[in-house]
Copies of this chain bind each other. A is one copy, B any other.
């Protein structure tokens, strides 16, 4: 029995014989297989398929899963519960997966979002057996029209032996045309990528997979369940305010064009606060070149500020998706959804002159950034696309609150316990306390600036004391006292607070 929705959306009628149940589709998966997934948190994720797979997997099979972006509980939660991961590659946000990774119940590979599909393609991790793609439609020629995310879906769809398509009728068919699918060649055959501006379109509006490899088509039966919009807070607003002031000054000094350079930021309270500040600002014609965006992106389009918004995925709230769907033709004039190998591409990040804005768990007085591991050991978030953005940006900005846990943790520390982004990849640090412009500063100058401008007043004396004692007792270009470098963290582990 093929539903009316599928009859309508599968336009290649000869593929209608591939329509099957989620259970049948899931039975194509065998023990030890590698699955590549086109992701998105709730919307854009083939969660009906994974719900069926997790049910069948328990005790029967384990798979390797490759994903660019975080996936919802229907994937990571259920698969972890079913003990169905042999190995898990890529970004995540699910708490069950995070706990399993910290208990090392299976190996979690915290890979770089923009690099993973290239690495998969060069064969270092073996082949991809099945790609799982959520789609809005299949075209007359049998090509796949994705929904609100591309990320690594096109890479896996092209690589995999079989492709399983989950059609999601909750996504309006008018989403078609928002995508720009272009997959760079791999070395030694790679050519210059012909994209110059965030709004350029250089590919196709569908994933051009050979229809013969579409092994199954199923229909989504689970409701999309995006999160509510993140509430704003005072710290985020202050951070956004410092940042806008900095950009205004850079323009005044002639170091940034009047419409800035293309901006990258993620989702959450700080990006939303920044988008709100930007919407009120005098900047216009702003371009965005980012891996994902939230409701703030729609706000900027509505405020007439956005010239083009290039992204690999939409992580909107429930309300944000409703806004998008209500007015899709208008939003489509601004938004381009691309594969992550373009969205997070070092070549393009450098070419467009990206202003990268990323968060961190903690930064140290010399500007090294920890964005993944608490107390050096416990992973709380994957690295995602931040390496490819920060390491190749025109300007790399780190945004975070000066404290966490109601002040018990200083997010500015003598030495971070895990380095994801070294000093060589950080230009500016912003907290609610202020902004530290580290460009052109030597390590001790950076330390004084970060402590003075970014640290919370409760921790300034402690940080200054560490710095001056390190300078006087050890010296060197970047003075540290190794026996005291983690004193803040050890105090917290012992007393529950970094305060003495």
Q: Which residues of A contact B (CB under 8 A)?
A: 87, 101-104, 107-112, 119, 122-125, 186-188, 190-194, 196, 253-255, 257, 261-262, 345-347, 349-353, 368, 373, 375-379, 383, 387, 391-392, 394, 415, 417-422, 424-425, 439-442, 444-445, 470-471, 474-480, 482-483, 485-486, 489-490, 493
Contacts and interface: CB of A to CB of B under 8 A. Distances in A.
Given A108-B442, A123-B255, 17 more contacts: A102-B476, A104-B477, A107-B442, A108-B477, A124-B439, A188-B352, A191-B196, A192-B196, A346-B349, A368-B419, A375-B476, A376-B478, A377-B470, A387-B422, A392-B392, A417-B482, A482-B489
A361 to B, nearest CB: 13
Given A112-B424, A193-B192, A477-B378, A104 B442 contact: yes
Given A107-B445, A477-B377, A425 B186 contact: no
B119 A439 contact: yes
Given A255-B122, A482-B489, A188 B476 contact: no
A104 B444 contact: yes
A421 B422 CA distance: 7
A475 B254 contact: no
A470 B353 CA distance: 42
A254 B123 CA distance: 8
Nearest to A390: B391
Contacts of A391: 346, 387, 391-392
A189 to B, nearest CB: 9
Nearest to A108: B442
Contact of A261 (B188, B368, B417): B188
A257 B188 contact: yes
B108 A424 contact: no
B187 A107 contact: no
Given A255-B122, A387-B425, A420-B424, A190 B353 contact: yes
A350 B352 contact: no
Contacts of A123: 253-255
Contact of A378 (B122, B351, B379, B476): B476
A199 B359 CA distance: 40
A475 B378 CA distance: 8
11 contacts: A125-B440, A187-B261, A187-B394, A190-B196, A347-B347, A373-B478, A375-B474, A377-B478, A383-B424, A391-B391, A482-B489
B196 A124 contact: no
Contacts of A470: 377
Contacts of A124: 255, 439-440
Most B CB contacts (10 A, CB to CB) among A103, A418, A478 go to A478
Most B CB contacts (10 A, CB to CB) among A368, A377, A418, A474 go to A377
